[in-house]
Structure 1
Amino acid sequence: MKKQLPIEQQQVLLKILKTRFEKNISRHQALDWAKIQAKLEANPEKLWSLDEMETTGGEPDVVDYDAQTDEYIFFDCSAESPKGRRSVCYDAKALASRKEYKPANNALDMAEEIGIKILNEQQYRYLQTLGHFDAKTSSWIETPDNIRKLGGALFADYRYGNVFVYHNGAESYYASRGFRGFLRV
């Protein structure tokens, strides 16, 4: 069964997204809200995912358009890592490896439940060109298989005027570390 919001909730979300779009026009100067809204209305399952991004504190906004696939790209644009997605380890394998003090969830499974994917390093660095994000928090980012096979995972943040990408054990979790996602519509 497809996940779908009631019509009233869709309208509320579209209003929030339009307001954010207009407030942050520098993120998407060449894009037209009417075309984005039409695309969203034609894809109600994507509206459900955007609502989940919003509900968990991601403040999704359009950051790009892919002309080859005719898709708009939304990123979590909250100033800090989304509050409702913090204190999670990297993936299910990391969660299962913890013997005690397990977090409630992990980043990759949460992203899948929401219907999004976590940002990779290139996307994270692109996000930072649109403003400064994660100045007090950090966000898990997609980790290459060769690093993950060795037990590690990558996260990133913005400090001292620079984007930093670090590593940590995938099973670690912190109150100030969450994850940012993206959605193609």
Structure 2
Amino acid sequence: MNASQNKLSPEEKKELFRILKNRFEKNMNRHSDLIWEKVKIKLDKSSEEKLWALNEMEETGGEPDVVEYDEQADEYIFFDCSAESPKDRRSICYDRDALESRKKHKPRNSAIDLAATLGIKILTEDQYRKLQKLGNFDLKTSSWVKTPDKIRRLGGAIFCDRRYNTVFTYHNGADSYYAARGFRGCLKV
């Protein structure tokens, strides 16, 4: 893929649509009131950057799927729906300030920076809880979520996971990182 142009080749676009259609059809519980043909029409009309971002979600292990249609904005909303936090987005701290504050053993990136590079937004806590109503996610991993400014100013960040059939929100220092913690993203098309 030519990442510098944020554009998919016709073959990459065809393969992405095939993957998204298969996932859509296998997981109708996530979008029972939506029709794939309408989603595809919207994808066909979307910008190259949006398609590139969806492909990046896929390439980093996110398994993006449609979870909602916003009628007012005329947008389909995609979340990362991989069973666990996307594999190629783990072992990262929360944001750039946290990354720069580490003196030793810096992670390779931060959740906020990587999300921006991919062209997506990190899930909010509310979006994460909405996702968890569609299935059981992060049973072995956890995911950073958008942290309120008042918590972040104090050096913290929040993350969520699902344990004991319950969705939990926790806190950590924003500069912490773990092999089992990544982040999930959202893209509106």
Residue number among 140, 144, 157 corresponding to 2:161 in the alignment: 157
Indicate yes or no: 2:113 matched with 1:112.
no
Percent identity for Structure 1 against Structure 2: 64
Instruction: For residue 165 of structure 1, give the secondary structure of its aligned residue in structure 2.
Output: strand
**CA deviation after TM superposition for structure 1 residue 161, in Å:** 0.7
Instruction: Note the aligned Cα RMSD (angstroms).
Output: 0.8
Indicate yes or no: 2:99 matched with 1:95.
yes
Instruction: Write the distance in 1 (CA, Å) between the matches of 2:33 and 2:123.
Output: 23
User: Which residue pairs with 1:71 in the alignment?
Assistant: 75
Aligned pair count reads 185
Instruction: For residue 132 of structure 1, give the secondary structure of its aligned residue in structure 2.
Output: coil
Indicate yes or no: 2:132 matched with 1:128.
yes
Instruction: For residue 54 of structure 2, give the secondary structure of its aligned residue in structure 1.
Output: helix
In structure 2, stretches of 5+ residues that fail to align are none
**CA deviation after TM superposition for structure 1 residue 3, in Å:** 1.5
Instruction: Write the distance in 1 (CA, Å) between the matches of 2:165 and 2:80.
Output: 20
Instruction: For residue 67 of structure 2, give the secondary structure of its aligned residue in structure 1.
Output: strand
User: Which residue pairs with 1:56 in the alignment?
Assistant: 60
Q: 1:1-80 alignment to 2 at 5 Å?
A: 3-43=6-46, 44-80=48-84
Q: Counterpart amino acid of 2:24?
A: F
In structure 1, stretches of 5+ residues that fail to align are none
**CA deviation after TM superposition for structure 1 residue 45, in Å:** 1.7
Q: Counterpart amino acid of 2:36?
A: W
Instruction: Write the distance in 2 (CA, Å) between the matches of 1:98 and 1:26.
Output: 42
Runs of 4+ in 1 over 6 A off after TM superposition: none
Output one character per residue of 1:124-178: Cα deviation in whole Å (capped at 9) or x when no partner.
0000000000000000000000000000000000000100000000000000000
Output one character per residue of 1:35-68: Cα deviation in whole Å (capped at 9) or x when no partner.
1111111113211001000000000000000000
